[in-house]
Amino acid sequence: MQDPRTYLFVRRYQSTLRFGGLTSHVIIINHLFPNVLIIIIIIIIYFVHSSYCRVKWVKKI
């Protein structure tokens, strides 16, 4: 009996591969510039977090 979570992960991975090889591009970029990818993710998280906090702050007023 297979774990349903692994099955879902495999299904999602297969659908992502059908999406035009986006995951392979990400893997290649991650292999070439691992630090750049981490920095980009941190920047995105920072922007999302700051905008979310700003929205909460505006709603408080």
**Mean pLDDT, range 46-51, rounded to an integer:** 84
Structural domain spans, the chain: 4-60
pTM of the model: 0.34
Show the CA angle centred on residue 12, arms to residues 23 and 32, nearest 5°: 15
What number of H helices and E strands is found in the chain?
Answer: 3, 0
Indicate if the pLDDT at residue 47 is higher than 70: yes
- Closest C-alpha among 46, 29, 47 to residue 37: 29
pLDDT-based confidence at 20, cuts 50/70/90?
low
Identify the DSSP state of 41: H
